[in-house]
């Protein structure tokens, strides 16, 4: 046993008592980094995002990029559960960030579009996410960041 107290202290990023056999498992590392990044995003959105969350951001980003969509299409394309989409869109609509209109071709379907206020809010949320990403990726060089992004994207596409 070492006399150096730092030798027995767990890494600050590792929860106390993490078994050595899982510390280098990619699934463990990805999940631990997700937990950290998600906590930072929640803190950033709470502090500077007007109370909005990452799922609000995904819906606004999808609408800006793809244009008006049905609620169901928007939920599917942004990975927001369809049972949650209606309530999330109601929150965004109440804030004036999106507008829902009845689809003239199918009166049972709503078409959602982003408003000018929604575009402005999306830019604010972009800045929050940019700050958080810089914080999360700070230990990596620019080349390492690009490599990590490419590798993670490749895993998702497999």
CATH of the domain at 77: 1.10.10.10
> What pLDDT sits at residue 9?
37
Domain that holds residue 113: 20-128
- Write down the residue that tokens 């929050």 correspond to: 128
Taken in order 67, 73, 74, 76, is the CA torsion positive or negative? negative
Q: 29: closest CA among 155, 129, 113?
A: 155
Tens-place pLDDT, residues 88-130? 999 999 999 999 999 888 888 899 999 999 999 999 999 999 9
> What pLDDT sits at residue 73?
93
Tokens of 96: 């004036």
- The residue ranges of the chain whose pLDDT is under 50 are 1-12
| 157 located within any domain | no
Taken in order 145, 49, 39, 65, is the CA torsion positive or negative? negative
Tokens of 36: 């950290």
* Total domain count, the chain: 1
> What pLDDT sits at residue 11?
46
pTM recorded for the entire structure: 0.80
| 158 located within any domain | no
| 9 located within any domain | no
Phi, psi of 78 (to 5 degrees): -110, 5
């Amino acid at each position: 046993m070492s006399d150096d107290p730092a030798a027995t202290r767990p890494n600050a990023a590792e929860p106390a008592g993490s078994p050595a056999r899982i510390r280098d498992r990619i699934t463990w590392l990805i999940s631990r980094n997700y937990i950290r990044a998600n906590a930072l995003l929640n803190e950033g959105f709470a502090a500077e995002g007007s109370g909005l969350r990452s799922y609000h951001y995904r819906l606004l980003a999808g609408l800006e990029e793809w244009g008006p969509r049905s609620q169901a299409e928007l939920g599917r394309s942004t990975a927001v559960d369809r049972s949650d989409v209606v309530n999330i869109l109601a929150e965004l609509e109440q804030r004036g960030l999106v507008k829902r209109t009845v689809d003239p071709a199918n009166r049972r379907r709503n078409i959602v579009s982003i408003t000018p206020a929604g575009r402005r809010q999306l830019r604010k949320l972009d800045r929050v996410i940019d700050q958080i990403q810089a914080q999360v990726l700070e230990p990596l060089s620019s080349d390492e960041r690009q490599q990590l992004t490419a590798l993670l994207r490749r895993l998702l596409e497999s």
